[in-house]
Amino acid sequence: MVRLEGVGRRYGPVTALTDINLDIVEGEFLTLLGPSGSGKTTLLNLIAGTVEVTTGRVWIDGRDVTGTPPMARGLGMVFQNYALFPHMTVGENIAFPLRVRRLPEREIRRKVAEVLDLVRLPEVTGRKPKELSGGQQQRIAIARCLVYDPSLVLMDEPLGALDKKLRQQMQLEIKRLHTLLGMTIVYVTHDQEEALVMSDRICLMHDGRIEQLGTASDLYFRPATVFAADFLGESNLLDGECVAVASESLTVRTAGGVTMSGLTSVGLARGDRCKLVIRPENIALLGPNNVAPCIAEGVLEEMIFVGGVTNFRVRLHDGVILTAKRLTTEARLALTPGASVRLGWRAADVVVLR
């Protein structure tokens, strides 16, 4: 559907994107995820044609559109600030792309009514955008984008201005429309939760490059880089050195002298420096009689109660601090800082990275 070949963009001396190669499959929901300044919005604009590439080529639908102005690319886009025309009514806004395409007036009226039904706002045709709530404006922006059936839809942080509840509701709404209509969606967000909820695939961006591309569970459970591990969810990151290498697993000694084993796919050799990643939710607090494949002992430093879960910060005897995230129970809340605790996890939950 979309193919980017060695795409790069510079703004004067500043490089916003370097050598991006990306294939977007027809009908998929792909999210460009990354912190601000990572180049995700620039990449979206390069696909839209509102920003021109400095190197590389952009293909849409098998057509080389490098250098083609946005009006000739035939795609749809939803903007963060909605970009609804303030001087037109909702109906005129939605009719705009159809009028551009010189559809007969009857057809336009039919399509506008249809798409307003689709976004479940059939009553607002005659109103001005200003008179609608933020969530309604967002629905209209989506309707205006869908009304001409573009096979590729770009969304630039469309839910950024909404509050949390409404955002979650709209996430499901967009997901529903995607399933219903089957178009390809490229979605930009800096919100990892949003990315995990909505995407077929996530393209994690960092410093103008693609850090990792894969499904939500790929990125979450098999982060390819320290940045990916750190950006998605929470991670315990430990420095270490390889002491033994098997086929897929290896043994690492941490800086503090504890030996652990874990899984890797980055091809480390004996003696290499490396980082260990353990998700806090994979670390259990062991009772006196529990056993686990990997066990470490330490002293509870701090408990942070965040509602459904509680974070336990534990200082191991070698000084390393690990955070364990467990469901909140009264028994666990009864622990006090200074108490001795045993932590346990599986070797399979440890990812070793370069």
Partner 1 sequence: MARRKRSPLSIAACAAAWSGYVFLALPSVIIIPMSFGNSDELIFPPRSFSLYLYEKYLLESNWMAATAESLEVALGTAALSLLLGVSAAYGLSRAEFLAKRLITMFLLSPAFVPAIVLALGLYLYLGAGHVSGTTVGLIISHTVVAVPFVIVTSMAGLRHVDQRLEIAAAVMGARRFLIIRRITLPLLAPSVLAATLFAFLISFDEVVISYFIAGVRTQTLPVKMYSAIHWEISPVLAAVSTLLTLLSLGICLAVALLRRGR
Partner 2 sequence: MAYHLKGSTTTPRRRDNPVVFVVPAALFMAGAFLLPLLMVLYTSVGGNALTLAHYAELVSRPLYAIVLWNTLQISAFSTLATVLVAYPIAYHLARQPPRRRALLLILVLLPFWTSILVKSFAFTVLLGQDGALNQIVTALFGDGARIKLLFNRPAVLIGMTHYLVPFAVFSILASLLAQDPDLRRAAEIMGAGRWRIFLAITLPLSMPGVLASALLSMILSMGMFVTPALLGGRADLMISNLVDFHVRETLDWGAASALAACLIVVTGIFAVLLSRIRPGQLLGREI
Binding footprint of partner 2 on the chain (CB under 8 A): 52, 64-65, 67-69, 71-72, 74, 98, 100-103, 148-151
Taking residues 81 to 110 in sequence order and writing x for each that binds partner 1 by CB under 8 A, - otherwise, the string is: x-x-xxx--------xx--xx---------
In angstroms, give the least distance from the CB of 97 to partner 1.
4
71: contact with partner 1 by CB under 8 A: yes
Q: For the segment 151-190, give every residue that binds partner 1 (CB under 8 A).
A: 154
The length of the chain in residues reads 354
Question: C-alpha distances in angstroms, 20 versus 149, 208, 302?
Answer: 28, 8, 43
74: contact with partner 1 by CB under 8 A: yes
Q: Which residues contact 82 (CB under 8 A, 6 or more apart)?
A: 129, 137, 138, 140, 141
Q: Smaller CB distance to partner 1: residue 54 or 282? A: 54
In angstroms, give the least distance from the CB of 103 to partner 2.
7
| 3 state SS of 258 | coil
Choose among partner 1, partner 2, none what residue 48 binds, the Cβ cut-off being 5 to 8 Å by kind.
partner 1
Structure tokens of 177? 């429309």
- Pick the closest to residue 225 from 33, 350, 353, 351 (CA basis): 353
Binding part of the chain for partner 1, among 43-51, 59-67, 267-275, 331-339 by CB under 8 A, reads 43-51
Supply the DSSP symbol for 283: P
Sheet of strand 294-305: strand arrangement: 284-286, 340-345, 294-305, 309-316, 321-327
CA pair distance 88, 32, nearest whole angstrom: 32
Q: Smaller CB distance to partner 1: residue 94 or 294? A: 94
Q: Which residues contact 101 (CB under 8 A, 6 or more apart)?
A: 148
In angstroms, give the least distance from the CB of 339 to partner 1.
53
Which helix H or strand E contains 347, and what residues bound it? none
In angstroms, give the least distance from the CB of 131 to partner 2.
24
Phi, psi of 139 (to 5 degrees): -65, -40
CA pair distance 204, 150, nearest whole angstrom: 25
In angstroms, give the least distance from the CB of 83 to partner 1.
4
Taking residues 126 to 145 in sequence order and writing x for each that binds partner 1 by CB under 8 A, - otherwise, the string is: ------------------xx
| 3 state SS of 141 | helix
Query: Which residues share a beta bridge with 77?
Result: 154
Please, are residues 96 and 148 in contact by the beta-carbon 8 Å criterion?
A: no
Structure tokens of 233? 């969810």
Q: Smaller CB distance to partner 1: residue 70 or 256? A: 70
14: contact with partner 1 by CB under 8 A: no
Structure tokens of 245? 């290498």
Q: Strand 152-156 vs strand 14-24: parallel, antiparallel, or unpaired?
A: unpaired
Binding part of the chain for partner 1, among 30-38, 68-76, 212-220, 258-266 by CB under 8 A, reads 68-76
Q: Smaller CB distance to partner 2: residue 61 or 301? A: 61
In angstroms, give the least distance from the CB of 157 to partner 1.
13
Q: Smaller CB distance to partner 1: residue 39 or 76? A: 76
Binds partner 1 (CB under 8 A): choice among 36, 62, 72, 288? 72
48: contact with partner 1 by CB under 8 A: yes
In angstroms, give the least distance from the CB of 149 to partner 2.
5
Q: Strand 63-64 vs strand 55-60: parallel, antiparallel, or unpaired?
A: antiparallel
69: contact with partner 1 by CB under 8 A: yes
Q: Give the residues lining the site for partner 1 (CB under 8 A).
A: 48-50, 69-77, 79, 81, 83, 85-87, 96-97, 100-101, 144-145, 148, 154
